[in-house]
Amino acid sequence: MKLNKIILAAAAIAMVACTQANPGGLTRVSCDFGSEAPDSVTFSIGEQWDTTVAVVRGKVNVLLPVDKTQLAFMLTEADPVHFVSDGSNITIDTEKGVATSDDPEGITSRAKALNEWDAAFMDKFNAEMESLDEAQQEEYLDKAVEEYNAHYFEVLSQNTDNVVGLLAISSIQTDDDAKMVEALGSLSDELRQDPYIQKLINLYDTKSKTGAGSKFIDFTVVQDPEKPNKSTVKFSDFVGKGKFVLVDFWASWCGPCKAELPNIAAVYKKHKGKNFNVLSVAVWDNPTDTKAAAKELGIKWDQIINAQKIPTDIYGIEGIPHIMLIGPDGTIIARGLRGDDIEKAVSEALASAK
């Protein structure tokens, strides 16, 4: 599993002391531009609220509505400054482009702590990876990802009703769909309406409907738009026809896809016949590039080209290669097969059928 660096949008938020109370639970935001002050600045919270305020004598002092579920921004000609309108007192340093909060338990302070942990973790991770050989790196990577996800799941469990929870869930990198579904279910009703969370909910709902034990969902692809009558095919033309079919969703530009082809070719050579076949489905790819790569790489089995995102949307495929095994009656036997697991799954399926 690849560990990607997640840069939190609420980065560089620090704590400062401030004693001024805010009326009505509003968030007080202040900043001093000094001598090079703009005439006005705009404050926004998500996509639903924004206001433009005048800069008076180089300073801004404004009260904003509290919204802990979204990031807030101060917008000027310089880069936007991020903060959370969490009901605390926010001071913006316009020279450094950072915001500070006076509440050590507030949402902005939690975001700061999360960002600091993330930065420290990545520094340690990168240093450790540089000190290890290739074999050791793989083992360490698995442990690092486990630690990384465990921390973010813990942060999420403590912030299920605010934007820190969103930052946490967007950083988690796991193949454990059940755990992600549980995490999404723990979010407050308000957070579950966030567009990103809605997308994740739909993704895992799609995966659950097309997981092992489910019947395949058919789709149609026009492989050559200039010759639609001759080039239109259905997924059902190849699967659910009485054979086990190994389906490889791939693209010509995808390095890991090419790396799996020798494994697929070996399985095809060993098991091809009346009970087994292989189907490559090219997604997110230029058909001309697909054809050239298929010829160069020696793909001799059935193919569907120009599928683009049609099957990936249907099956909730986030990345490729994505390899699945479908039974003779169209039941999905396994998904996400890689490496030696491809041969193992095919051999076991064929043996059980006998």
* Tokens representing residue 330 in the block: 């169209």
* Rounded Cα distance, 182 and 157, in Å: 11
* Cα–chain center distance at 304: 26
Whether residue 11 is predicted with pLDDT greater than 60 in this model: the reply is no
DSSP H or E run through 349: helix 340-353
**pLDDT at position 22, please?**
59
pLDDT band of residue 12 (cuts 50, 70, 90) is very low
Architecture of domain 18-101: Sandwich (2.60)
CA angle (43, 47, 53) in 5-degree steps:
20
**pLDDT at position 10, please?**
28
Whether residue 7 is predicted with pLDDT greater than 60 in this model: the reply is no
* Cα–chain center distance at 8: 14
pLDDT band of residue 24 (cuts 50, 70, 90) is low
Q: Are 204 and 316 in contact (CB under 8 A)?
A: yes
Q: Are 287 and 305 in contact (CB under 8 A)?
A: yes
- List the CATH code of the domain at 220-353: 3.40.30.10
Q: Are 66 and 87 in contact (CB under 8 A)?
A: yes
Q: Are 214 and 207 in contact (CB under 8 A)?
A: no
* Rounded Cα distance, 182 and 245, in Å: 32
pTM of the model: 0.73
Q: Tell me phi and psi for residue 332, to 5 degrees.
A: -75, 120
**pLDDT at position 15, please?**
26
**pLDDT at position 47, please?**
81
- What's the mean pLDDT in 280-303? 96
Whether residue 2 is predicted with pLDDT greater than 70 in this model: the reply is no
* Tokens representing residue 6 in the block: 């997640």
pLDDT band of residue 282 (cuts 50, 70, 90) is very high
Proportion of the chain above pLDDT 90, given as a percent: 80
Whether residue 91 is predicted with pLDDT greater than 80 in this model: the reply is yes
Q: Which of 28, 6, 8, 14 is nearest to 98 (CA)?
A: 14
Whether residue 55 is predicted with pLDDT greater than 90 in this model: the reply is yes
Q: Tell me phi and psi for residue 286, to 5 degrees.
A: -80, 125
Q: Which of 171, 197, 187, 211 is nearest to 326 (CA)?
A: 211
* Rounded Cα distance, 28 and 120, in Å: 31
SS3 category, 295:
helix
Peptide bond before residue 80 is cis, with ω within 30 degrees of 0 = no
- What's the mean pLDDT in 287-293? 96
Longest pairwise C-alpha distance within the chain: 85
Using one digit for the tens of pLDDT, what is the confidence trace for 202-233? Answer: 999 998 899 999 999 999 999 999 999 999 99
* Tokens representing residue 147 in the block: 């630690």
DSSP H or E run through 249: strand 244-250
**Mean of per-residue pLDDT scores for the chain:** 90
- What's the mean pLDDT in 231-252? 97
**pLDDT at position 20, please?**
47
Whether residue 234 is predicted with pLDDT greater than 80 in this model: the reply is yes
Whether residue 200 is predicted with pLDDT greater than 60 in this model: the reply is yes
Domain extent listing, the chain? 18-101, 110-209, 220-353
Task: Name residue 236's amino acid.
Answer: S
CB atoms within 10 A of CB 254: 19
Residue-wise burial string across 180-204, b where 16 or more C-beta atoms lie within 10 A, e elsewhere: bbebbebbeeebeebeebeebbebb
